[in-house]
């Protein structure tokens, strides 16, 4: 007699392996979701909210001595003054000479004769009602007409570890001329200030001088402007804030010309 009852075949070894893999994949996907939703995302949000207290009322545009808007603030570093200096020196950025008659005449002559002046002075800009606390530069080419440079101002409010925030305005100088504001010898800058922000963060990261970088969105409400020399600039509005390692590199840049 023929058995008409429904017969359910047992899973073959191949099917059992497939079902096992599907179950493991589903479990892995669920684990990734739970980790992202309940661990990673809250951690990133908390990190975003733990901004340095000096950012609460930070100024975004520097000023010339006459109060004219200058270069935009585009980078920040958290650390002591010694840590900042060591990190910048290790990345082969040179401290800028103070502006004197001698240094002004030297930079003019070195531009004409295309001689190196790796620590040429930078004109003063103002933030928090005072001129920059520190200034560094990195030459481009054979004379001081083209160079990367950044000015830093120390914020007044330290973080929970007592470390200040140094707000910086980093730009690329393209040529040398006379300031319409003061008549001093000065530089004209590239409009792409975001690239200079990225240069500093990238170079410090490459030598392992930073323990982390935080990006502050919408730091700038004004995305285009002109500095005190009339040079245009533009930005995506973000501020990059790097945290300097406590044991920042200490190597000294080579080839300095005194």
Give the side-chain half-sphere CA count within 13 A for 155: 26
- Residue 251 forms part of a structural domain: no
Structural domain boundaries enclosing 143: 56-244
One domain for residues 35 and 119 = no
One domain for residues 22 and 149 = no
- Residue 4 forms part of a structural domain: no
One domain for residues 20 and 88 = no
Contacts of 115-120 with CB under 8 Å at 24 or more apart are 115/142, 115/143, 116/142, 116/143, 116/144, 116/257, 117/143, 117/144, 117/257, 118/94, 118/253, 118/255, 118/256, 118/257, 119/94, 119/95, 119/256, 119/257, 120/96, 120/144, 120/147
One domain for residues 136 and 180 = yes
| Number of domains observed in the structure of the chain | 2
The answer to whether the beta carbons of residues 204 and 87 sit under 8 Å apart is: yes
One domain for residues 39 and 62 = no
Specify the DSSP class assigned to residue 171: E
Q: Which of 88, 52, 247 is nearest to 161 (CA)?
A: 52
- Residue 255 forms part of a structural domain: no
- Residue 25 forms part of a structural domain: yes
Q: Which of 188, 206, 209 is nearest to 84 (CA)?
A: 209
Which parts of the chain are beta strand (E)? 61-63, 69-72, 75-78, 94-95, 126-127, 130-131, 134-139, 147-154, 165-178, 185-189, 210-216, 224-226, 232-234, 239-244
- Residue 142 forms part of a structural domain: yes
One domain for residues 176 and 129 = yes
pLDDT per residue of the chain (258 residues) written in tens, 0 to 9? 555 555 555 556 666 676 777 777 777 776 665 555 445 544 443 444 457 998 988 999 999 888 889 999 999 999 999 999 999 999 999 887 444 444 444 444 444 434 444 444 557 899 999 999 999 988 886 666 678 989 999 999 999 889 999 999 999 988 666 665 555 556 678 999 999 999 999 999 999 999 999 999 999 999 999 988 788 999 999 999 999 998 766 655 554 443
- Residue 1 forms part of a structural domain: no
The answer to whether the beta carbons of residues 164 and 134 sit under 8 Å apart is: no
- Residue 5 forms part of a structural domain: no
Model-wide pTM > 0.85? no
One domain for residues 147 and 116 = yes
């Amino acid at each position: 007699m023929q058995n008409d009852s429904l017969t359910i075949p047992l899973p073959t070894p191949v099917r059992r392996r497939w079902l096992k893999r599907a179950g493991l994949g589903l479990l892995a996907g669920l684990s990734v979701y739970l980790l992202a939703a309940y661990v990673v995302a809250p951690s990133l949000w908390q990190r975003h909210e733990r901004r340095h207290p000096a950012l609460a009322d930070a100024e975004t545009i520097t000023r010339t001595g006459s109060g004219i808007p200058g270069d935009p603030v585009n980078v920040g570093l958290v650390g002591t003054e010694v840590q900042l200096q060591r990190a910048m020196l290790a990345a082969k950025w040179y401290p800028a000479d103070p502006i004197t008659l001698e240094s002004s005449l030297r930079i003019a002559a070195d531009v004409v004769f295309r001689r190196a002046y790796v620590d040429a002075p930078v004109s003063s800009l103002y933030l928090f009602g005072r001129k920059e606390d520190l200034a560094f530069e990195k030459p481009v080419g054979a004379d001081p007409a083209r160079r990367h440079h950044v000015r830093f101002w120390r914020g007044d409010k330290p973080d929970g570890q007592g470390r200040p925030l140094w707000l910086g305005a980093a730009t690329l100088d393209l040529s040398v001329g006379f300031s319409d504001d003061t008549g001093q010898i000065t530089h004209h800058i590239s409009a792409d200030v975001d690239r200079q922000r990225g240069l500093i963060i990238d170079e410090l990261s490459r030598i392992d001088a930073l323990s982390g970088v935080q990006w502050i969105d919408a730091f700038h409400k004004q995305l285009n402007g002109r500095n005190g020399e009339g040079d245009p600039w533009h930005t995506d509005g973000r501020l990059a804030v790097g945290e300097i390692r406590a044991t920042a590199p200490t190597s000294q840049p080579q080839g300095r010309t005194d």
